[in-house]
Amino acid sequence: MKDQWIRDMRRLLDGYEKDPPDGLLDEVKQAIGERNLRPVPERKSATWPTN
């Protein structure tokens, strides 16, 4: 069947994951702080870490 191999490939790769780079989340959080970004609009009860 035409393009059956594409379907087979998608099936093989379904649910596949790779380990994220070391320290990525910490660097993301640090960059968010350094750029003065906030993950959601500021709210009274927000508990986001500040830099």
Partner 1 sequence: MRSEETDKEQRIIRLFHQGDASAMDLLYTDYAGYLTWVGFRYISDDDDLKDVLQESFIKIFTCINSFTYRGKGSLKAWMTRIVINESLQFLRRQQASQIVRMDDLDLPDMAEEEPDLTGLSADSLSEMIRHLPPGCREVFNLYAVEGKSHIEIARLLNIKPDTSASQFHRARAILARMIRKYQLKKARE
Nearest-5° Cα angle at 41, 36 to 44: 100
Draw the binding track, 4-43, toward partner 1 (x: CB under 8 A; -: no contact): -xx-xxx-xx--xxxxxx--xx-xxx-xx--x-xxxxxxx
Q: How many residues bind partner 1 (CB under 8 A)?
A: 33
Is residue 39 a contact partner of residue 32, using CB atoms and an 8 Å limit?
A: yes
Question: Token digits for 9?
Answer: 């490939």
| In contact, 50 and 42? CB cutoff 8 Å | no
Q: In this complex, which beta carbon is closest to partner 1, that of residue 27 or of residue 51?
A: 27
- Residues lying near partner 1 in the complex (CB under 8 A) are found at 5-6, 8-10, 12-13, 16-21, 24-25, 27-29, 31-32, 35, 37-43, 45-49
